[in-house]
Structure 1
Amino acid sequence: MIKTYRNQTEIKIRKAVEADSEKLWILMKELAVFEKYIDVFAITPEIVKESGFRKSPPDFYSFVADHNGQIAGMLVYYYLPYTAVNKASVYLKELYVDAAYRGQQIGEQLMNALHLEAKLNNCAQIKWNVAPWNEAGKKFYERLGAAQNKQWLNYEWKV
């Protein structure tokens, strides 16, 4: 089981459950606006339910920051199969904290929960991308001790 993190406003970090799907979707949509891809955002609450909770295995896993039953933030991740190092990696897909809850170390608590999850599952590393214009995001991750991987470039091939 994951360790519970709490701060001054009684935030509990826990694994998301199907009942969280609607709020997860809302936060995903807010993140799409923030990261400027809302014009191609095609996720619905039903897709979140089906892909994250009903499918076995699910397409993604998630943690939520729960404040008295309200979802204050989310972290969405999935596992990447192992190759060279003989250990899987975790891929952090989305991290978002509702504007009303920012400045309370919720992002850090969500990242710590993911770090613990990766350790418990014997993963080699956690990977993610940050938009080059997101200076606050880059500073946040560096403050946690993460480093930019300058050995690899990201490529996309649209289909």
Structure 2
Amino acid sequence: MNIIIRKAKESDSEKIWVLMEQLAIFEKYVDSFAITPEIVKESGFRKNPPDFYCLIAEDEQKIAGILVYYFLPYTAQNRPAIYMKELYVDEGYRGQKIGEQLMSALKSEAEKHNCTQIKWTVAPWNKAGQKFYERLGAEENKDWLNYEWKV
């Protein structure tokens, strides 16, 4: 199998949305999932700057995985950071190191943009995800707690 990692383009919007929906099902928030293919197209490809960027893992025109991220332009180090919002590999492609390839491409993107770090969250029940990130060398940030304020 020949997996290619590349930046997503507007014509990928529908396929990206399918994996976003699969992630919503996996992470148990599909009932509040409000993204549509048109929102992906508008927010990720037609806005300037876009609301998000996306890397895809592709196998002969089928998208096997996605990694959605955006830049945090200001940090205390006066350099940007990247926030990874979503990483998802289609069930049929798991165990083939596609997640690692996507993360490696994200790390290259961070280095290219002089970022200080890549941040993300993982659900406490997602032990496989936690092990995956730790295997890559990531560390849990125990200095900060996540809060949210619903409006």
Q: Percent identity?
A: 70
RMSD, aligned α-carbons: 0.5
SS across alignment from 2:146: coil
2:56 aligns with 64
Residue by residue over 1:54-89, the C-alpha shift from the partner in whole angstroms, topping out at 9 and shown as x without a partner, is 110000000000101110000000001223111110
Please tell me the residue identity of whatever aligns with 1:72.
A
1:130 aligns with 122
Task: Tell me which of 134, 148, 151 is aligned to 1:156.
Answer: 148
Tell me, yes or no, if structure 1 residue 118 matches structure 2 residue 110.
Answer: yes
Please tell me the residue identity of whatever aligns with 1:89.
A
Give the TM-score taking structure 2 as reference length. 0.99
SS across alignment from 1:79: strand
- Give the paired residue count: 151
Please tell me the residue identity of whatever aligns with 2:138.
A
Tell me, yes or no, if structure 1 residue 97 matches structure 2 residue 89.
Answer: yes
Task: Determine the C-alpha separation between the residues in 1 that align with 2:2 and 2:61.
Answer: 11
Please tell me the residue identity of whatever aligns with 1:104.
Q
Offset, 1:107:
0.3
Tell me, yes or no, if structure 1 residue 106 matches structure 2 residue 101.
Answer: no
Runs of at least 4 residues off by over 3 Å? none
Unaligned runs of 5+ in 1: 1-8
